[in-house]
Amino acid sequence: MTYRKVNYEEVEQVSSAMHVLSDPLETEQVGVTVARCDPGWKSKPHDHTDNDHEEIYVLIEGEATVVVDDEPVSMETGDALWIPPASTRQIRNGDSESAFVLVSAPSIADDEGDGDEWLLSGFAG
């Protein structure tokens, strides 16, 4: 089989919101989590200095605030937020349910390049 499929709702929830998909999908270079956040839910403040992973938070439903290095960033459905590895981040959900897709990965910049370009081989479209 050349692919792996999982339904996030069948993956055990962590911290009462997070469905971490990397293990059941057996990913090697990317982390993917679906976070279904109840009203008033807050994640633990954390960073990714230890694994040097940058993250992208995509809010796919509702409204929420993500605090990055003590700066609140208001988000609404459709917003995407990039967070560098060393920055502390925390989701703070508001009065209604929200849903995020969280993606994390190590830098993919070419070691011989200037570091400002993404490797795009393999991307279609």
Provide the CATH number for the domain around residue 46: 2.60.120.10
Domain assignment present for residue 42? The answer is yes
Instruction: Identify the domain containing residue 96 by its residue range.
Output: 22-106
pTM of the predicted model, to two decimals? 0.82
**How many structural domains are present in the chain?**
1
Domain assignment present for residue 52? The answer is yes
| pLDDT of res. 108 | 62
- DSSP state, 22? H
Q: Report pLDDT digits (tens) over 35-74.
A: 999 999 999 999 999 989 999 999 999 999 999 999 999 9
Residue type for position 52: D
Domain assignment present for residue 31? The answer is yes
Q: What percent of the chain has pLDDT over 90?
A: 74
Domain assignment present for residue 4? The answer is no
Q: What is the edge-to-edge ordering of all strands in the sheet holding 71-76? A: 71-76, 63-68, 89-93
